[in-house]
Amino acid sequence: RKEVEQDPGPFNVPEGATVAFNCTYSNSASQSFFWYRQDCRKEPKLLMSVYSSGNEDGRFTAQLNRASQYISLLIRDSKLSDSATYLCVVNPGSARQLTFGSGTQLTVLP
Partner 1 sequence: DTAVSQTPKYLVTQMGNDKSIKCEQNLGHDTMYWYKQDSKKFLKIMFSYNNKELIINETVPNRFSPKSPDKAHLNLHINSLELGDSAVYFCASSQDGDRLGEKLFFGSGTQLSVL
Query: Which of the stretches 18-26, 55-63, 66-74, 98-106 binds partner 1 when contact is defined by CB under 8 A?
Result: 98-106
Please give the Cα distance from 110 to 107 (Å, whole number): 10
Amino acid at 73: L
| Min CB(17)–partner 1 separation in Å | 23
Convert residues 32-71 into a mask of x (bound to partner 1 by CB under 8 A) and - (unbound). x---x----xxxxxx--x----------------------
Q: Which member of 11, 91, 106, 108 binds partner 1 (CB under 8 A)?
A: 91
Residue 4 C-beta-side C-alpha neighbours within 13 Å:
24
Max intra-chain CA distance, the chain: 41
